[in-house]
Amino acid sequence: MNIASLENELQLALKVADAAAAVSLAGFNARSFTVERKADKSEVTEIDRATETAITNILRAERPEHSVYGEEHGIVGPSDAKYQWVIDPIDGTSNFVRGVGVWASLIALVENNVPILGVVCAPVLQMRWWAVTGGGAFFNGQPIRVSKVDTMREASLSITSGRGWDKLGATSSLAKLQSDVSRARGYGDFWQHMLVAQGSVDIAIDNIGLAPYDIAALVPIVQEAGGKYSDRFGAQDWRANSLITTNGLLHDATLAYLPK
């Protein structure tokens, strides 16, 4: 898809983000939603489902030849579509449930298994990031770039530790990494990776157990900002269950801490 066509798709994605925010923010503010546990024990609310439905309805109406792959409703539309929208209606549902405003709708367009467009919309924070391949990355309308920090002792790290890393025996390795950098925090979910794209954080390490809809929208933004992404093995695979993003300069050094 050429850049002009991508810009048209971006305008649609931003329209979808507005519609998603209208549903999710109203639900968040009302605080009257139901909460259930899915088979994987993760939380889901009726607002997650309603937000995904709002997104899917627009995309299916505007791009009937495309498919939509969402966290709550699976794949909708033609199974052999060249273009697929990959969406997470509310990334950070646990925060949403507890009244913490760090959550976002993630919207990606994938062409032949490659994410070419990403929009991340965090309505409570009034923050939005987006990028298309070849078009640069933006935060609230301003161009963004990753940092130029090139040593661990100067680096700012965001890490989401948890049982996934514990099961891999990585606790001591991650503790060593945190002690070797200048600053370690846990911003979590989408936000830590967007902070890498903005140059505010140099390394972000997510927990084990991610899904494609957790990752797809982040990829074009990080890459267009000059950063790098991979799974814990170093493979650039947005369908993996782990995600490391960096400013690129620190990627190999970061992977060296992680168990293979």
CA–CA distance, 108 with 123 (Å, rounded to integer): 17
pLDDT band at 73 (very low <50, low <70, confident <90, very high): confident
Domain that holds residue 23: 3-135
Same-domain check for residues 124 and 21 = yes
The residue-averaged pLDDT of 152-178 equals 91
Contacts of 210 (CB under 8 A, 6+ apart): 240, 241, 242, 243
Same-domain check for residues 13 and 120 = yes
The residue-averaged pLDDT of 197-226 equals 97
pLDDT of residue 171: 86
**Residue 242 DSSP label:** -
The residue-averaged pLDDT of 52-81 equals 92
Q: Determine contact, residues 238/115, Cβ cutoff 8 Å.
A: yes
Residue matched to tokens 């890393």: 165
CA–CA distance, 236 with 213 (Å, rounded to integer): 15
Which of 135, 170, 198 lies at the terminal end of a domain, its last residue? Answer: 135
**Residue among 155, 21, 160, 152 nearest 90 (CA):** 21
The three-class DSSP label of residue 187 is coil
pLDDT of residue 39: 64
Q: What is the pLDDT of residues 92-143, one digit of tens each?
A: 988 999 999 999 999 999 998 999 999 999 999 999 999 999 999 999 999 9
Query: For residue 177, which phi and psi values (nearest 5 degrees)?
Result: -60, -45
H or E segment to which residue 62 belongs: helix 46-62
More confident residue, 164 or 109: 109
Q: What is the pTM of this model?
A: 0.94
CA–CA distance, 124 with 135 (Å, rounded to integer): 26
**140 within a domain of the structure (yes/no):** no
Which of 80, 101, 135 lies at the terminal end of a domain, its last residue? Answer: 135
